[in-house]
């Protein structure tokens, strides 16, 4: 999707962090924006900031775990702009704690928000994306979905791994409709994800492997990367090239890599 001017993007979780950074990066290219979020004040401000860049923008409060809310979001986007070209699924909750301390309710909530909302929103907007000459979906996953580097965030990592698999399948499923798919797997990014964190035990050294091995980014930097991936129709998007080297090491020697990871985790105790 080389020509972005006057396209329309729906960004869930767009009030802050990567969602906001991407919404504004798109707005700078002339994309009109529909922001969806639970945080009304921040969401409305992001819409105003997008408008200051010369595009039209709206904010719609939306709980993406509810069919009715997603339906209202779709209608608001169509009422406001008449079309949707880009959908960014970008929400997440983070239950943390040892495996036996995080109960089933937290696991179910994690998958409802982190995975099923992506399915829900994609199914809702697919007819609108298909109606255009070309469309694009961006699914925010995580480096935690690529490798289990933190035993205190297993539910989060498992849900994001499912997002990666879903995204890869969508590439094949939607190719004939000329709808591209980008799966964003950020490492360290300065977002407010901890606002959506629920602690179920000790959270010491949470994410320490990522902190020590992967370059941290600002949301605006990631937003620019996402725009580039949409234009290039790129599937897998890391926020640090070093992640590729880590994945190659794991693929070449899975047993040795797990031992290396286990030794690192034990060294933190």
User: Tens digit of pLDDT for each residue in 123-178?
Assistant: 999 999 999 999 999 999 999 999 988 888 999 999 999 999 999 999 999 999 99
φ and ψ at residue 5, rounded to 5 degrees: -60, 130
Question: Average pLDDT for residues 227-240, to the nearest whole number?
Answer: 96
Average pLDDT in the chain: 93
Other residues' Cβ atoms within 10 Å of the Cβ of residue 113:
20
Both tokens of 227, joined, read 């725009």
pLDDT tens figures, 24-41: 999 999 999 999 999 999
Distances (CA, A) of 10 to 34, 35, 72: 5, 6, 13
From the options 3.50.50.60, 3.40.50.720, 3.90.1150.10, 3.40.630.30, give the CATH code of 8-244. 3.40.50.720
* pLDDT confidence of residue 33: 98
Can you tell me whether residue 127 is helix, strand or coil? helix
Binned at pLDDT 50, 70 and 90, residue 192 comes out as low
Active site residues: 156
pTM above 0.75, yes or no: yes
Both tokens of 263, joined, read 């030794």
* pLDDT confidence of residue 191: 67
């Amino acid at each position: 999707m080389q020509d972005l001017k006057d396209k329309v993007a729906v960004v869930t979780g767009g009030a802050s962090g990567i969602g906001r950074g991407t919404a504004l990066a798109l707005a700078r290219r002339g994309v009109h924006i529909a922001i969806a979020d639970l945080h009304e004040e921040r969401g409305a401000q992001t819409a105003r900031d997008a408008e200051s860049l010369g595009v039209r923008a709206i904010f719609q409060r939306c709980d993406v775990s509810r069919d009715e809310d997603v339906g209202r979001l779709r209608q608001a986007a169509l009422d406001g702009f008449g079309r949707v070209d880009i959908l960014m699924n970008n929400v997440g909750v983070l239950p943390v704690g040892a495996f036996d301390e995080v109960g089933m309710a937290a696991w179910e909530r994690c998958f409802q928000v982190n995975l099923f909302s992506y399915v829900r929103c994609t199914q809702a907007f697919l007819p609108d994306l298909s109606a255009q000459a070309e469309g694009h979906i961006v699914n925010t996953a995580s480096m935690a979905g690529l490798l289990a580097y933190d035993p205190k965030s297993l539910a989060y990592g498992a849900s994001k791994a499912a997002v990666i698999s879903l995204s890869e399948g969508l590439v094949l499923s939607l190719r004939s409709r000329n709808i591209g798919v980008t799966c964003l797997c950020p490492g360290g990014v300065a977002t407010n994800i901890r606002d959506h964190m629920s602690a179920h035990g000790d959270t010491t050294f949470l994410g320490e492997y990522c902190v020590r091995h992967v370059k941290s980014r600002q949301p605006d930097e990631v937003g620019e990367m996402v725009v580039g991936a949409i234009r290039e129709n790129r599937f897998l998007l890391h926020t640090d090239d070093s992640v590729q080297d880590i994945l190659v090491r794991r693929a070449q020697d899975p047993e040795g890599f797990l031992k290396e990871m286990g030794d690192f985790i034990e060294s933190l105790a």
